[in-house]
Structure 1
Amino acid sequence: MEKGNHSTVTKFFLSGLTDQPELQLPLFLLFLGIYLLTVLGNLGMIILILLSSHLHTPMYFFLSSLSFIDLCQSTVITPKMQVKFVMENNDISYPECMIQLYFFLLFAISECYMLAAMAYDRYVAICSPLLYSIIMSQQACLSLVLGVYILGVVCASAHVGCMFRIHFCRFDLINHYFCDLISILKLSCSSIYVNELMILIFSGINIIVPTLTILSSYAFIIISILHIKSTEGRSKAFSTCSSHILAVAVFFGSAAFMYLNPSSSSSMDEGKVSSVFYTIIVPMLNPLIYSLRNKDVNIALKKIKERRPFL
């Protein structure tokens, strides 16, 4: 049995977002600011939920898990991306590229299922409020989150495991700002049939299952809201879902634009810009989406400030 992947390519070069010299420094400063906001926002959300006892509910347990995923996702992508803005060549070794690809897939897939779990939580809260504490017990929530990460690990392991069977002969320039699965496969000089089959199977599962879960949850939620007689009750029920709906739309919309476009060079360049949204912008926006109009979060922040007057 053959060992290794027998590739003559030991490192790759990332093309980055743009080659225009005048844009390098502005983009570096822009994405540095975005990354700092992402770290501050998501880490702050996790700490706030941990410190505030009235936020120890299933909804905020899932939200803290989503913040952890966003924080990790951004950290996997952004620091390496920043190198291209300050250095002429942005190379990455083959092992580092596979590691980055693995964790990117792990957290991207986990986010899909975490958003689905959050949709299910909202469905139970609105459609079965009397049974909410029983259905969404601590054990059930832990099982859902554990299941999310297991699915992410299994899918990421399958994709990266299949990468070790292909050969890279001469081409080593990845037309992206990180080691994206499709961009790497374009450099192969051996058959990628198995890899494409894996992408087809897992992409179908990872898109259809969360999407159906989210759509069916909100279908029942809308029906339940329509049966609420008071306008105030409808408004309150909808407000608990609005943040999640916005987060889902931004994440799945930008990801779909990237992966459902035709695979031409121009669409790849457009795809790089699109992928910025779900790899870098979405992790920054999620804490803002879930906190700006969230009364519970604002109350928790006020209580933390009252406990620590020097803040």
Structure 2
Amino acid sequence: MSGLQYMKGVRTRFYNKLLKEIQNVKEILNTDLSDLFDVDEYKQLRQRVLEAKLSINLYNDKLMMQSEKLSQAIDDSDIIEEASTLYHKLQIFEDTLQESKETEHNKIEKKERALSLAVVTEEMKTMFEAQMELQRVLVESKRVKKDTVKLPKIDIPSFNGNKLYWIEFWDSFENSVHKNDSLSDVDTFNYLKSKLTGDSRNAIIGLTLSNTNYSVAIEILHKRFGNRQETIDSHYKALMDMNPARNSLENLRQFIDKVEKHLRCLEVLSQDTNQDIFVSMIRRKLPNDGLLQIEIMKGAGKSGQ
């Protein structure tokens, strides 16, 4: 048997293994979580999810390495991309599975999940990122780019993962880029990645640029940073943690600008900001001279009416 035939045989074996794991993942993703009440069934499903993540990642990596050796004769980019997409969907399914369990059993299994994931998470993350980078180089070396759309020059602020700024970022991106019918999903995804930094970029770092992965990326970002109640809590905490204003015009102006920004965001989130507690909290952070000036201004306003 020639070396080429042997490599093809090895690639075929990895290919069939990966097909089997993809079918297993699809069966897991079709599980109806609403019927999952038994603790043993939940643990069995959690174990299947962990094993499936390891297996699909392992065989995807092996197939990709073998396919690279045969890249001139064999193209496995389609199944590799499908495996990558399913891996991320499996992560989302795992989060949904955990949330349903926490609701039903009052978060009893949360510590078990953290313990089991801690053993493999770091190694999987490193291995998967290396695999995705290798896959990106392999696919891009074969793919001929046609009809590339030049992205419009739009002034949209970047998003670094701070939940306080998610609504502002997404509203700007949605109206300027996401709803732009002249852009394909892959071009929109490329623009999105160029505006992400820090934690937000790390959240989708393993996703390759493709039409299919754009919707997966949006779902991951909304789930990670777009929780409405967490955003509300963050604004309240930011107001309470603000440093007291100093007795200078510039510092007072900066203080007021920050307060008004948080209050406007809370109003957008349907929060009642016309409460005495806000007035009392803000007054405590103002210097006495500043409060005196406010009272003088109020008195001047009344006398002029």
Higher relative contact order (CA 8 A, sep 6+): 1
TM-score (norm 2): 0.33
Higher Cα Rg, which structure: 2
